[in-house]
Amino acid sequence: MTTALIVLPLAGALLVWLLPWSRFWAGSVALLVALVEVGLWINTLVGFDFDAEGLQHAQRVTWLADLDVSYHVGLFGFSLWLAGLTVVVMAAAIAYAFWAGRDRPRSYFGLMLFLTGAIVGVFSAQDLLLFYAFFEAMLIPLYVLVGVWGGPGRIGATLKFVIYTMAGSLLMLAAIVVYGLSEGTFDLVKAGTSGSTWLFLGFVAAFAVKAPLFPLHGWLPDAYRESPSEVSAVLSGVVSKAAVYGLLRIAIAKFPEPAQELRVPILLLAASGLVYGSLLAFRATDFRGVVAYSSLAQMGLITMGLFALNDPGFDGAILQSVAHGLISATLFLLAGSIERRAATGELPRLGGLAKGRPALATLLMTTGVIALAVPGSASFAGEFLILVGVFERGWGWAVVGVVAIVLAAMYMLRLISAVLHERRGRAVTEDALDLRPAELAIVIPLVACLLVLSAWPAGITERSFAGGPDDPRAAVAGRDDGWTGYAPLEEDEP
Amino acid sequence: MIAATTPKVDWFALAPVLALLAASGLALLGAVLVPRRRAHGVGGVFAALGFAVAFVLSALLYVDSGEARNVVAEAIARDRFAALAQLIVCGAGLLAVGISWSERPRVEEHAGEYYALLAAAGAGMAFLVAANNLMVLFLALEWFSISLYVLSAIRADRVESLEAGLKYLIVGGFGSAALLFGSALVYGSTGELMFGRIAEATRAQGLESDPLLLAGLAMVITGLGFKASAAPFHMWTPDVYDGAPTPVTAFMSAATKTVALVLAMRVLVAAFPQLDEFWTLAIAAIACISLAWGNLAALVQRNVKRMLAYSSISHAGFMLIAIAANNELGGRALLYYLIPYSAMSLGAFAVLAARERELGRAVALDDLGGLGWERPLLGLSLWVFMLGFAGLPLTGGFWGKFLVFSAAVERGWTWLVIVGVVATAVSLYYYLSVVRALYMRSDLEVRLMPAGGSPPREGLLQAAVAACLAVTVGSFFAVQPLTDLAEAAAKQLPF
Amino acid sequence: MLDNWLPFLIYALFALAIPVSMVVMSFAFAQRPAKRTRTRGLPFESGVSQGPPKTQRFTVSFYLTAMLFIVFDIEIVFLYPLAVILNELAWFAFLELLFFIGILVVAYVYVWRKGALEWQ
């Protein structure tokens, strides 16, 4: 089942690449594959037992027996949610690209489908080398998608993006080799935990670049600004979550001791990223800049949740990952739509878009309000859990988090008012239309997902971690210096 | 009356070499006995047949050599290690013939000789990897080197080609001299020529710290370093790779590197196990210098062939890490690495050959603009080869690097892994600049490119590129069977 | 220790002594003008002529033929020792001999048909 989730988009990519489709058919086939992928995921979701411990839908085929490398995939609760985020956002992105009519459609849609497969692979890989292979395979289509279809500054943006990412991943590769050989296996389920700080740092380096975590975010503004808007949506909404998965499944679960020891410096970095990103978002002069820096801030917040190293932190991080993925994807797609209408994303030249464009105004407003974590929204639940988690580590962390949430309200409201309200900007013409039905059909499902999550956040928080030896919670449980959440410690039993 | 004992000749063990030698002779006769306009076809067919037959024979030899033994008066090692390297050489040769086929109008005058020399070089290489004594080693080394000197200079109408031939001759001659002198010192010290017996004599006579032996070993390493184009013995590489006809460069980069490294591993492991403290460090140092120098110099190249030449120096560095590891995993890593590396190298130069022919001049990075859209197969292949060189997944280059690093870790030299990782990160910059040129130039820039006219018919070249692509990607998925082959081969060396 | 180095040392000494003595002797025995004349500035100053007159040339065919002669001559020389012990080595030597001659014949045919033996 997991394999089907990975292989379907890859096969779709080959299909789109190899057959001589016309522009219309290439897009249609790609969209069809993406929708079937969503259906496949829903099917997996329905059949998923959230109470069962360990991997589900697992499949293991030996790849290189001598070093115990295997094609081993499977899903935990939290990886299922991240995979779901992926397929939904990718379907929306492909539909958006279809609607926007990108050049060289076969290459474009093939790469998007390939990217889908690679990301789902990252979220389900249970072997270190397989994980690395998918992690890098993700980079290849992204490099081309930004480099070929991006804006005028795309060459510099891709170069920065790739060099940053690869520098991190290669450190991870070195760590993987050393760790795997010392464990005698590269299988994540079989491998035991390790206490090596250096290996831990090797893994964290890769994920910190991917997330990105302050101060490794140098690639972020350029990449998010120069990409086609749906690629930005994928980058910030989905690709950054690979870092969350990696931190949770590898860095924390396999290196519990270094994670504890280095908790404070990492929390410090995450907190600085949170505040710094929020401030930059408040100062950014263009739509995408605001969303890009808010992504940096949100990833800082999620990392804080992860490195609270307790249950509420983990739950909140997963919920917030999904919520933020949907929010930033929606915002980037809306940014693309606005840029198509106004030919610019510069905030001073925008404004007054709400008048006569009710659909756009409603959607942007709804998403923005959810993004600033208004009580009752999915991100409120996520941020609240994260704050509870870090509060257990010291009230100071929670204070930073709260300040950042205030900042989030500031930058989000500034964005909304700069785009929708105020005086009509010079770039906004009278005849710029409201969102077209096709755009609505793409964006509304994303917002609908957000509303469902807002109504029922427990749908994710109670269905992410089922316990068992492979659960990241098991790695940090019992090593704690205090309250560990709602699950009673096993040590308490006589 | 002289008491003479004649060695028993194992013809089967020599069969791949003899097949190639016969092909070479036939191609040479074809050059003078058939009308000139047919010479190209005849030579090409004979060379291709020779490589194909030698490939099959090496495969049979591999299957049949479950037990390693020394034959023909112990001068030749008949084992899977040699057979696997011969397979790589013959495969590379076959593809090189395919790439050369489209060069027809340029080598018309020397077509027969060209293919004869190609087959002769292949024969020398097949002989070299089976060498089990210092004399055969030197003989085979000169055999293929001289063929390559002439091949480099075969386009006598181009001054670059002549320069390449001359430079290669002089620097290669220097390397051979160092190797020969080193062999003499080793023989002088131990009194033995066979690899295995050198090791025995070293142990029996306690020559572990004999300065003469050490000096000899150092010079042997130097000589092989020249052939493998490892820094600091690499200075000929960019000029020769650039000046030689591109199909020759393709063959050289794949096959010469293969045999030099495979033989280096055999000599060092079989003949000098007692001196491993010394040579593992020496090889590791050479590996680091190659990685640093090759990558840094490649960063500033605009000519793609020169860039690939420096990249090949850095890859020599990677493979030397496998040798420096001095363990069976290292042997496996080296033999595996060579398979995708040869394919990528051949394929990349083949694409350049096609582009060169279109433009009629040396290919600079900017000249690749738009190639990816114009010629989808060639562009996509070059892209994949670059990713493979950089060691990204979905190509065998990834497993190659992974196995090399694993070997270094098993040896306990994690620092070598760090060096390799840093080098890979640097190398990304120039590999990606190729991809950038291929796909990411704006349409306006691309339109300014000189029009190449209609693409020439070059079915064989495209087939060769496609084969290289298949090997590069296939070796990623089929890593288990390939490493099994490599493992069975590496096991037969006395690690 | 020293025993091992002795031959190497002698070798090195010879390698050094020959070029050094050449240079030194050319200084010591050459009769040359004390003043810096044009001749003295020439790279090789034996004080006599500067090689053959420029008008006299050898034809390229001479070098080609000379080279071919050396190659084939040296190769044929290998046949003599083989001939002496042919009886002891028996069939082995005979086969090797045929093999060797076979390679020579290919080369010969090539040289012949290529026209390298025509005097132009």
- Quick: pLDDT tens for A394-444: 888 889 988 988 999 999 999 999 988 888 888 888 777 888 888 999 999
Whether B392 sits inside 8 A of A140 (CB atoms) is yes
ipTM of the complex as predicted: 0.89
Domain count within chain A: 1
* Chain B residues touching residue A7 (CB < 8 angstroms): none
Choose from A220-224, B5-9, B20-24, C52-56 the range with maximum mean pLDDT: B20-24
Contact (CB, 8 A) for B368 and B434:
yes
Rounded to two decimals, the pTM is 0.89
Interface list for B 113-142 with A (CB within 8 A): none
Mean confidence (pLDDT) of chain B? 90
Domain count within chain B: 1
| pLDDT value for A393 | 86
Q: Which residues form the domain of B479? A: 11-490
Locus of tokens 């900007």: A425
* Chain B residues touching residue A133 (CB < 8 angstroms): 393-394, 398
Q: Which residues form the domain of A309? A: 262-478
* Chain B residues touching residue C106 (CB < 8 angstroms): 25, 28-29
At A136-170, the pLDDT tens digits run 999 989 998 998 888 888 888 888 898 889 889 98
Distance in Å, alpha carbon of C63 to nearest chain B alpha carbon: 18
Interface list for A 130-189 with B (CB within 8 A): 132-134, 136-137, 139-140, 143-144, 147-148, 154-155, 158-159, 162-163, 166-167, 170-171, 173-174, 177-178, 180-181
The one-letter code for the residue type at B351 is V
Report yes or no on A426 lying in a domain. yes
Report whether pLDDT(A493) > 50. no
Report yes or no on A316 lying in a domain. yes
* Chain C residues touching residue B189 (CB < 8 angstroms): 4
Q: Do chains C and A touch (3 or more CB pairs under 8 A)?
A: no
Domains and CATH numbers, chain C: 1-55 (no CATH), 58-120 (1.20.58.1610)
Whether C106 sits inside 8 A of B4 (CB atoms) is no
Whether B29 sits inside 8 A of C114 (CB atoms) is no
C89, C109, C112: residue with CB nearest B6 = C89
B7, B28, B185: residue with CB nearest C110 = B28
Whether C4 sits inside 8 A of B189 (CB atoms) is yes
From A145, which residue of chain B is nearest by alpha-carbon distance? B440
Using a CB–CB cutoff of 8 Å, tell me whether A201 touches chain B: no
Using a CB–CB cutoff of 8 Å, tell me whether B31 touches chain C: yes
Report yes or no on B4 lying in a domain. no
Report whether pLDDT(A478) > 70. no
Bridge partner list, A346? A286
Using a CB–CB cutoff of 8 Å, tell me whether B480 touches chain A: yes
Give the model's confidence band at B187: pLDDT under 50 very low, under 70 low, under 90 confident, else very high. very high
* Chain C residues touching residue B211 (CB < 8 angstroms): 1, 4-5
- In whole angstroms, give the CA distance from residue C14 to residue C7: 11
Give the model's confidence band at A483: pLDDT under 50 very low, under 70 low, under 90 confident, else very high. very low
| pLDDT value for A356 | 83
| pLDDT value for C35 | 67
Whether A174 sits inside 8 A of B418 (CB atoms) is yes
At A292-301, the pLDDT tens digits run 999 999 999 9
- In whole angstroms, give the CA distance from residue A259 to residue B480: 35
At B313-353, the pLDDT tens digits run 999 999 999 999 999 999 999 999 999 999 999 999 999 99
- In whole angstroms, give the CA distance from residue A305 to residue B354: 55
Report whether pLDDT(B444) > 90. no
- Across the A:B interface, residue pairs with CB atoms under 8 Å apart total 82
- 3-class SS at A38? helix
- In whole angstroms, give the CA distance from residue B68 to residue B85: 15
At C32-85, the pLDDT tens digits run 666 666 666 665 555 555 566 666 667 778 888 888 888 888 888 888 888 887
Report yes or no on A199 lying in a domain. no
Report yes or no on B47 lying in a domain. yes
Whether C110 sits inside 8 A of B2 (CB atoms) is no
B373, B410, B429: residue with CB nearest A163 = B429
Q: How far is CA C104 from the centre of its chain?
A: 21
Neighbours of chain B (3+ CB pairs under 8 A): A, C
Report yes or no on B1 lying in a domain. no
Could you count the other beta carbons within 10 Å of the beta carbon of residue B282? 19
